[in-house]
């Protein structure tokens, strides 16, 4: 699958899954904008990907939960790389703790980044996609949003929201050349999952045992599903939710 001539924006691009998605999209020939809270890490990775893939790749500091910053960065991407054809809403945060022990500032933060961040960035790129009558929006959800996950109650809620948001937007944009789909990783080996290991080795071991394939996923397991949804070949697929989780969730 080739993405030549397309411009992609990946949020949370400096992290484990976002970096792999960015690498796969650049390898497929897309020009890729890497946006992350950590702008230095995004710019450093962009330089590496430009060297290794030969595609145009640029890094930007962007907090997905601040609409003014998002508008400025989307404007800069349009100037540097062209209008965004492919948006990957990947930025996300989690905090492993029982719901009864969690507090409102934590809920507010998780909702602001995982759900509102997805809404804000999507809104910022949508007019251009409608104008050009082409768009691929891929949200990174989570199996936690499909079946729930203890210790991640508010996080699971935001991921369920991201899935429903994709379905509803897919209906509104279906005649405009725009598809909206969600990829749901299961437990995947990144900094985010480190928290689970820190919460207790028993919980971490139980996670991999629960996966029918008996292993934790890698960012490179997740990225090809995103490349597929971004491709021309996936033009007739919208509003779908695909788990990439070794069989953990089947529905
Ligand atoms: P990670 O923690 O390795 O990377 C997340 C990246 O997002 C970091 O580079 C961070 O700087 C960036 N970020 C955080 N807040 C941001 C904000 N407000 N604006 C812009 N960037 C921000 O996490 P990972 O594992 O790569 O997660 C990526 C996505 O995959 C998240 O949406 C996560 O919920 C989802 N996911 C991860 C799973 C896992 O087991 N690792 C399982 C299921 C879903």
Q: Is 133 left (phi over 0), alpha (psi -120 to 50) or beta?
A: left
User: How many domains in the chain?
Assistant: 1
Q: What is the DSSP string of the chain?
A: ---TT-EEEEETTTSHHHHHHHHHHHHTT-EEEEEESSHHHHHHHHHHHHHHH-S-EEEEE--TT-HHHHHHHHHHHHHHH-S-SEEEE-------S-GGG--HHHHHHHIIIIIIHHHHHHHHHHHHHHHHT-EEEEEE--THHHH--TT-HHHHHHHHHHHHHHHHHHHHHGGGTEEEEEEEE-SBSSHHHHHHHHH-HHHHHHHHHHSTT-S-B-HHHHHHHHHHHHSGGGTT--S-EEEESTTSS--
pLDDT value, residue 197: 80
Residue 68's domain spans which residues?
7-243
Cα 8 to ligand 1 centre (Å): 18
Residue 136 lies in a domain: yes
Look up the CATH number of the domain holding residue 74.
Answer: 3.40.50.720
Strand order of the β-sheet with 241-244 is: 57-61, 31-36, 7-11, 86-89, 135-140, 178-185, 241-244
Ligand 1 touching residue 193 (CB < 6 A): yes
Q: Which atom of ligand 1 is nearest to the CA of 112?
A: 18
Q: Is the Cβ–Cβ distance between 8 and 32 less than 8 Å?
A: yes
Residue 173 lies in a domain: yes
| Token code pair at residue 106 | 């934590």
Residue 73 lies in a domain: yes
Nearest 5°: phi and psi at 179? Answer: -115, 150
pLDDT value, residue 220: 98
Q: How far is the C-alpha of 22 from the C-alpha of 13, rounded, in Å?
A: 7
Residue 93 lies in a domain: yes
pLDDT value, residue 195: 81
Ligand 1 atom 41: residue of nearest CA: 188
pLDDT value, residue 218: 97
pLDDT value, residue 81: 98
pLDDT value, residue 251: 79
Ligand 1 atom 9: residue of nearest CA: 15
pLDDT value, residue 231: 98
Residue 250 lies in a domain: no
Residue 249 lies in a domain: no
Quote the Cα angle for 83-89-94, to 5°: 155
Cα 175 to ligand 1 centre (Å): 31
Residue 248 lies in a domain: no
Per-residue pLDDT of the chain (251 residues), as tens digits, is 899 999 999 999 999 999 999 999 999 999 999 999 999 999 999 999 999 999 999 999 999 999 999 999 999 999 999 999 999 999 999 999 999 999 999 999 999 999 999 999 999 999 999 999 999 999 999 999 999 999 999 999 999 999 999 999 999 999 999 999 999 999 999 998 888 788 778 878 888 899 999 999 999 999 999 999 999 999 999 999 999 999 999 97
Catalytic residue numbers? Answer: 155
Q: Please state the pTM of the whole predicted model.
A: 0.98
Residue 194 lies in a domain: yes
């Amino acid at each position: 699958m080739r993405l030549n001539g397309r411009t992609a924006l990946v949020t949370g691009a400096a992290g484990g899954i976002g970096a792999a998605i960015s690498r796969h999209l650049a390898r497929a020939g897309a020009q890729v904008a890497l946006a992350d809270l950590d702008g230095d890490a995004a710019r450093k990775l962009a330089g590496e990907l430009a060297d290794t893939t030969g595609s145009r790749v640029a890094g930007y500091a962007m907090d997905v939960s601040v609409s003014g910053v998002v508008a400025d960065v989307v404007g800069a991407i349009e100037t540097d790389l062209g209008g965004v054809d492919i948006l990957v809403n990947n930025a996300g945060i989690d905090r492993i703790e029982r719901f009864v022990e969690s507090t409102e500032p934590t809920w507010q933060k998780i909702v602001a980044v995982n759900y509102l961040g997805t809404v804000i960035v999507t809104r910022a790129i949508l007019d251009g996609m409608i104008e050009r009558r082409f768009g691929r929006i891929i949200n990174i959800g989570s199996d936690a949003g499909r079946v729930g996950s203890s210790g991640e109650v508010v996080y699971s809620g935001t991921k369920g929201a991201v899935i429903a948001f994709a379905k509803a937007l897919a209906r509104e944009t279906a005649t405009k050349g725009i598809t909206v789909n969600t990829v749901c990783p299961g437990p995947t080996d990144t900094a985010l999952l480190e928290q689970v290991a820190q919460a207790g080795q028993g919980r971490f071991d139980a996670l991999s045992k629960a996966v029918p394939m008996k292993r934790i996923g890698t960012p490179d397991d997740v990225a090809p599903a995103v490349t597929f949804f971004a491709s021309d070949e996936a033009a007739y697929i919208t509003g779908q939710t695909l788990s990439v989780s070794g069989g953990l969730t089947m529905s």
